[in-house]
Amino acid sequence: MTTFVLVHGAWHGPWAWDRVVPLLHATGARTLTPDLSAAGDHGLHDHAEAITAAIDSVGGEEELVLVGHSYAGLVVRQAADARPEAVDHVVLVDGWAGADGAGMFSLAPAAFVTAVRAAAETLGDGGRIPAPPPAAFGIVDGDDAAWLAARLLPQPLRTFTERTRLSGAVDRIPGTAVYCRPQTYPFDRFGAALGYRTLGLDGPHDVMLTRPEPLARILLESRSFNKGKLEV
């Protein structure tokens, strides 16, 4: 059996995967959707520890695919680095990712960093970043936008300022970087720089809301790329 650990991005919650999970279950796969938003005012390292705990809860005989959306690309790579023997594949979905020491503010352009810091100071409490509108995630359909707006949460600033701590073990695990088109940030280059195969998927940043079927197919197909088999 394959277990997919689906990790949501900033401002989101486990509900981000609600439209993907049934599609994976229909094939007999198991899913875990950890709630990073329940971690309070924690940072990236706390989130990585939470995902490491989720990995530990999966039986060692199961194939495990670790999936990170957006900010969670950093989180899942640090968690996988801590448990390289347990993770068979890493999938980034429009994911921020890099080598040891990478973080949101080291990877993002200066304008993004400035805007986020300003939002935390002027609109938040200094330590939290208010959620942007659904359009920032490419969600403009009225019903979907309303659904998303009602669920988005403030994001701890520490998750963006902290940087990953990687030993290099994660780089021995095969990976796939799914980048959404048209691109908002160079997610294809982030993945390619790590040696991941890169796959384009037409859709907005929150593609799991608008195109769950093709995303689920990509996740299921990733099961064929087991540890030690880097061929596409």
Please, what are the domains in the chain? 2-104+156-224 (3.40.50.1820)
Residue pointed to by tokens 């960093």? 113
For the entire predicted model, the pTM comes to: 0.94
**C-beta of residue 164 within 8 angstroms of C-beta of residue 175:** no
With a CB cutoff of 8 Å and minimum separation 6, the contacts of 200 are 178, 179, 180, 181, 188
Comparing CA positions, the residue from 36, 40, 106 lying closest to residue 76 is 36
**For residue 26, what pLDDT is reported?**
98
Tens digits of residue pLDDT in 182-229: 999 999 999 999 999 999 999 999 999 999 999 999 999 987 665 443
**C-beta of residue 65 within 8 angstroms of C-beta of residue 39:** no
Task: Tell me phi and psi for residue 131, to 5 degrees.
Answer: -70, 135
Confidence of residue 231 (pLDDT cuts 50, 70, 90): very low
